[in-house]
Amino acid sequence: MIRRLAVSLAALALAAPALAEPLPKHVGQCADTKVLRVETRLIDGVTGKPTPGSGSAIELVDGGYQVSYDTVPAVEGSRPGDPVRVCLVSIPQHCPPGDKRGRIYETTNLRTHASWRLPDAEHSCGGA
C-alpha cells in the first residue's frame, strides 16, 4: 500500500509541470499554471524555516517565481495547487548578456480572485 502511494505521488509530481503552460515570453502574453509553494522571501539557511517579516515569495509549477521585500496579502492567501493566470507585464532593457532577471508578472489567483504584480527576482538585471 505504501509503495503504491509513493508511486502515485511520484507520478503526480512528474505530471504537475505538464499541466501548466510555459511562462509567457512576450509582454502582454498570459499563461495558466498552478502554485507550487508559498514562502517568505528569506528562509533560514540553518533551520530551513521561513523568516517572518522578510517579504513574500511564490513558486509556480512551471518554474515561475515571484518575490517581494514586502508581505503581499494576495500571495500569502494562495495555497499549493491553486490555479493562477500569469501575464508578463514588462521586460527590462539593456541587460548584460545572460542576465534575465527583472521581468514583471501580474498574477491572478483563480481561486481567491486576488492579484499581485511582482518581479521574478529580488533585483533587476545588472543589479546585486
Q: How confident is the model at residue 49 (pLDDT cuts 50, 70, 90)?
A: confident
Q: Is residue 126 part of a domain?
A: no
CA 20/CA 83 separation, integer angstroms: 9
Say which DSSP state 50 is in.
B
Q: Please report, in angstroms and rounded to a whole number, the separation of the first and last CA atoms in the chain.
A: 49
Question: What range defines the domain where residue 112 resides?
Answer: 2-119
pTM across the whole model: 0.79
Q: Is residue 127 part of a domain?
A: no
User: In a 3-state reduction of DSSP, which class is residue 64?
Assistant: coil
CA 19/CA 110 separation, integer angstroms: 15
Instruction: Count how many domains the chain has.
Output: 1
Tens of pLDDT along 38-48?
999 988 888 88
Q: Is residue 96 part of a domain?
A: yes
Tens of pLDDT along 81-114?
999 999 999 999 999 999 999 999 999 999 999 9
Say which DSSP state 74 is in.
H
